[in-house]
Amino acid sequence: MRSVLGLAALAALAMLSCTGATGPPCFTQQPGYIYEDRDAIFVANTGSSSISAFQDVAFTPGYSEGGVCGSPFAVSAPPTALGGGISTPSSQIFDLIVLSAPEKTISLFSVDFVTSVLTGPVATVTTPYTPVAVAVWGYFFYVANAEGSVSAYQVSGKGAVVAELAGSPFPAGSGPVAIAAAEPGLLYVANSQSNNVTGYTLNPNTGAPTPLSDSPFPAGTTPSSIEVAPPTYPNGFGATLVIVTNARSNNVSVYSVSGAGGLTPVSGSPFAAGAAPTSSATGNYLPLRWVYVANSQSNNISGYSINDASGVLTPLASSPFPAGEQPLSVASAGAQFLYAANNGSNSLSVYSIDQSSGALTPVSGSPFPVGQSPGAVLYFQVPD
């Protein structure tokens, strides 16, 4: 999370996503003020074909500069998944990538690094496949297709030119549902129908994925999300753990990552979660301390401490934590905040993370209204 260097006094927590009609004025840069870039939180509102935008600095007590001007932003196709921003040290795609599974489109939107305002799309790709998830690595991004493959693209011209790689799409398992990239060039796909994880190495020059020799790796029943932990930004040494939520077996698979990228279940994996876990987010970078899992049918969030040496998960004493109705997706802003998109109650729950216990406490005003049927939330880290 980045601090703001503006000279305005901070008074009270503001309403964070605004249209300008009600609530405080939306945030604009003032003449004579100096601002650092601000990380953003984007929510894909599938039911209302829009994207809600927030700024992480706005959840700091005393913030009073207003929400993101123009939010929620209308999009031409129902958004179902989001990607982009700094996710690995090599990330060079600073646009917001928006997938629409119903319309089979991939769109890139420009993000203002100070105001978080979206413009565009600057590029749109129509695909014959059903795109369900996206991951970024370098100038490349990878889209998991429901039909059992991964499409790979290279971006140039400040996001305006998107070219599919030769040989794309590449085979995956049955029913891909989630995807994650990691340094030093690894890609993992969670397959919901074959109940496993497909792993690849990525060519540093061409971006082409090559399956790992021991891939695929067994998972639980109906994997629903996959996360590299810790987030490989700012950790340039690569992934330590891979975390997979399993929706039908109500648990979480945790794997250690070998030097070649292979996955080995840690002791005790899988770990029990709530009903129908659909997403996970780690609560800090290094050392690993917490992980949080959204349980879509029990309407809560399971919290765990992570043994940094072994990767073993231990439930937090105060877990689970209440969420809205049908939380489908969670994202984390380092060690400070956790965000949960509640599909059934059209809201975003925002929690502060206790630095000593990992306990979650809703921030003032949480949950915040968003559009209809939010299905994905993304913490969008901007370049320094």
Q: What is the pLDDT of residue 20?
A: 37
For the chain, the straight-line distance linking the first and the last C-alpha, in angstroms and rounded, comes to 11
Phi and psi at residue 42, to the nearest 5°: -115, 140
195-228 confidence digits (pLDDT tens): 999 999 999 999 999 999 999 999 999 999 999 9
Euclidean distance between CA atoms 203 and 197, whole angstroms: 20
Q: What is the pLDDT of residue 179?
A: 98
What percentage of the chain has pLDDT greater than the value 70? Answer: 88
What band does 336 get if pLDDT is binned at 50, 70 and 90? Answer: confident
> What totals of helices (H) and strands (E) does the chain contain, helices first?
0, 33
Euclidean distance between CA atoms 27 and 12, whole angstroms: 14
Both structure tokens of 81: 């998944």
Is pLDDT of 18 > 60? Answer: no
What mean pLDDT comes out for the span 309-330? 96
The DSSP line for 55-108 is EGGGGSTT--S--BTTPSEE-SS---EEE-SSSSTT----SEEEEETTTTEEEE
Euclidean distance between CA atoms 327 and 339, whole angstroms: 10
Q: What is the pTM of this model?
A: 0.90
Q: What is the pLDDT of residue 238?
A: 54
Euclidean distance between CA atoms 249 and 263, whole angstroms: 20
In sign, the C-alpha dihedral spanning 276, 279, 283, 289 is positive
Q: 277 pairs with which residues across the strands?
A: 295
Is pLDDT of 316 > 90? Answer: yes
Topology of domain 40-380 in CATH is Methylamine Dehydrogenase; Chain H (2.130.10)
